Structure 1
Amino acid sequence: MITPEPHSGQETPLSQPQNDPLGALRQLFPDWYIEHDTVLARWRAMRHQPLALREVKAGARYLILRASPERLGAALARQREITCTPHAGRAAAP
């Protein structure tokens, strides 16, 4: 299960098993196109926008593949930290 973000103090939708993991990931990470390949049992996320050179140098990825929605969510959270993308529903700092 995905754990709450350390700074949020709230559970993420993925920590609630009755929710749809694909829908929850798409809601949490709107800057990504996210899909689940049921044949290969892979979860894939691709950015909607190309990366800036500074983001690539910082370790940001355009495509992420993982075996579970929890692992994909964790990888996307790390990418958010690298690119300093604000959480969905939160305004960016001035």
Structure 2
Amino acid sequence: MDITSVAAARVYGAARPATAPDPAGAPQAMSKAAGSFAETLARGEQTANATLVEGADPHNLITALAEAELAVETAVTVRNKVVEAYLEILRMPV
């Protein structure tokens, strides 16, 4: 064996496998995504309220509602993928 293959094997062995979850990172990522989702929906509601009550710029309303719609569609897509994965796991033979 040459030195590069030994070094590569050492680095490969020290690296965390892609299949191993990062227990510290997962809750933070999910809470960050949920906070961003809630923030986007709240911003859409505030902009809609300001437009209806105070007569704010309708362009801002359309932009905020489009962002909220995209956030909801993204959340639904992620939920559907999670359900698909769960059903796929259930179909696996034991």
Larger % of strand: which?
1
TM-score range for the pair, normalised by the shorter chain length: under 0.3
Q: TM-score under structure 2 normalisation?
A: 0.25
The structure whose Rg is larger is 2
Q: TM-score under structure 1 normalisation?
A: 0.25
Larger % of helix: which?
2
